[in-house]
Structure 1
């Protein structure tokens, strides 16, 4: 312990509390405590993640002066209220995506965080793979050339059967969008972050494969989404997002095609960036000496020692805590990025409902 050690606490005690707490500890924070939906679950979560204590409720957690940063890892529909309370208590905050289930609520949170002067981030953690930063640098320095097209996908199969169910399926708990808000937001954030271009307009089709699920009952949230879009420069974009793709566990992929070369990143192969050219296409494996500076900063292990999802999460936590201490790390996803994701999700749902193009 030092005077600069940050104290962090978690509202929510499920799977994402495990992920966030491992990242927080590896980033040098002290795990003060956690509160969950019941006292019993709070105690179980505190023991599981190695927290100092289980808080009886949210008010007790927010009143603790040793808590500097609050991680909100609860169902989507609770994010707005809990984040408002954390900001009002003067805490820096990490809110899981989606930041909120409506655009208005997301904008409200961004404005409150700005007015309060707190650090407020959203874990778009795939930005923190070194080879993602390498792709971004190659585009920014002109190595890819003029952007022609982008292909992206995020495919999973954990909701493949009608008896697969989860709170995210429910509109009440998860919001109006499920697959796109949950994982489509990641691929869109990665696309705009890597290319440096915004999606300018889109047209979308959604599909709900099962009208009912085991415990949720009638379902209105989508299982999969197809999107056709254009970027601000006119590049053509195609995206596929699905939680019913057999055999695909966490297949996030982004491929960009420019005048000089193409680049492809696959989250399940994070140590590799495919570089395509008319002749001599190759798999560019992570070699720290060959990386651009921003990518090299995140390459905390020597080549041949794979860095994965949890390492990216740790890098996100470390940059968030650096921001709390007054540093300004490049590429940190903040509440403005959460608002952007909410706007894109809203455009997708609007297009799917109307059958037309929607400007962003």
Structure 2
């Protein structure tokens, strides 16, 4: 039986990500299983408090999932010692003010990314959190997906030898909204509303690269708006002012070169919506979020270039599919897995691996990438304050 309960303030669960991934698939699922399992075999029970601006919407969600408490008064919730953790899934523009108040109230803080609208503000939050001595964490969900977990294991095993390069392809076609509805909200394509594929995806790419291959040293990026006009949810045409594709060359400590294409204007011809090919002296791998295949050194074919004759070799057959999870088991939801780790870290009073400083570095990459695109220059990320 649970001997302890930990209270969590959840701000922003009326949004899609906050509701589906964090509330339903993580906190409610853990609560219904009796809480978070600890190393000694006991469990800590979870009690959420839903906070937001619309009490009626909060109450509907709470009633749907058997949650007792909702509030529109964040300050009152932060002043209550019953709640140990503050979680933020609001829009980015509201995040810094709320997290600053949570830190001042002595709460441990876990938040969606980006942590702020600028690297300077994100770095300030990291410093405030460190000065307050609170456990702080930023959602790094993609590191918990089966394909990237398998990639991390391959790296740790020495499978690649010396890693030379990484090629990443991410994206799909987002419809313009005229003859078929767009799959993403229109604000994503307006820079004045915080849209853009660089600010959306490069904080993800930073933590993926950083925790698999090493710290990023420099970036060159070309960010573009391929489709200049789209149609919004009301059927009104608008100017797309945000970048909808970005093409980057990223230099990583140790000499690894990462080529990374991100686009909402590409039709998919690959196994998954995102795939990374990692090439090393002893072997290569292609991984997505769920799949993985490898080609070791002694299984590498010997291609020859002859433009006068078609090449009948089946190169796809030279790759060996490898399991990403034990047979018969389902992959654990990455959001939930990180929630469990964060709660255990709070209870143990130890730092969380993916902290506010990591979140700030993600924003630094996004900012330098946009600056690089605007100036046409390769820009360093190391050696400066907060890098």
Question: 5+ residue gaps in structure 1?
Answer: 289-302
Counterpart in the other structure of 2:338: 316
What TM-score results when the alignment is normalised by the length of structure 2? 0.79
Instruction: Give, in angstroms, the shift of residue 154 of structure 1.
Output: 2.5
CA distance in 2, matches of 1:31, 1:253: 38
Q: 5 Å matches for 1:72-151?
A: 72-151=88-167
Over residues 9-31 of structure 1, what are the superposed CA-to-partner deviations in whole Å (9 max), with x where a residue is unaligned? 21112112221112123342524
Instruction: Give, in angstroms, the shift of residue 68 of structure 1.
Output: 1.5
Q: Are 1:76 and 1:100, in contact at CA under 8 Å, matched by a contact in 2?
A: yes
Counterpart in the other structure of 2:212: 194
Change (3 A) 1:90 1:126: same
CA distance in 1, matches of 2:353, 2:145: 13
SS of structure 1 residue aligned to 2:67: coil
Counterpart in the other structure of 2:69: 53
Over residues 198-241 of structure 1, what are the superposed CA-to-partner deviations in whole Å (9 max), with x where a residue is unaligned? 22211111122234552694443211111012222222221011
CA distance in 2, matches of 1:352, 1:201: 13
Change (3 A) 1:87 1:173: farther
Instruction: Give, in angstroms, the shift of residue 77 of structure 1.
Output: 1.3
Decide which of 273, 276, 282 is 1:254's aligned counterpart.
276
CA distance in 2, matches of 1:9, 1:110: 20
Over residues 82-141 of structure 1, what are the superposed CA-to-partner deviations in whole Å (9 max), with x where a residue is unaligned? 111111111111111111110100001100111111111111111123542332233234
CA distance in 2, matches of 1:63, 1:6: 16
Counterpart in the other structure of 2:11: 11
Decide which of 178, 183, 190 is 2:196's aligned counterpart.
178
Question: 5+ residue gaps in structure 2?
Answer: 36-44, 300-318, 382-387
Bigger-Rg structure (1/2): 2
Change (3 A) 1:31 1:79: same
CA distance in 2, matches of 1:51, 1:156: 37
Q: 5 Å matches for 1:12-31?
A: 12=12, 13-18=14-19, 19-21=21-23, 22-27=25-30, 28=35, 29-31=45-47
Matched, 1:351 2:352: no
Change (3 A) 1:37 1:221: farther
Matched, 1:304 2:319: no
Over residues 165-197 of structure 1, what are the superposed CA-to-partner deviations in whole Å (9 max), with x where a residue is unaligned? 3444444543xx5212222322332122112x2
Matched, 1:284 2:322: yes
Q: Please, which moves more after superposition, 97-106 or 49-58? A: 49-58
Instruction: Give, in angstroms, the shift of residue 58 of structure 1.
Output: 1.8
Q: Please, which moves more after superposition, 242-251 or 7-16? A: 242-251
SS of structure 2 residue aligned to 1:233: coil
Q: Please, which moves more after superposition, 163-172 or 179-188? A: 163-172
Q: Are 1:156 and 1:250, in contact at CA under 8 Å, matched by a contact in 2?
A: no
CA distance in 2, matches of 1:246, 1:55: 44
Matched, 1:238 2:259: yes
Counterpart in the other structure of 1:71: 87
C-alpha RMSD of the superposition: 2.6
Counterpart in the other structure of 2:232: 214
Q: Are 1:87 and 1:118, in contact at CA under 8 Å, matched by a contact in 2?
A: yes
SS of structure 2 residue aligned to 1:325: helix
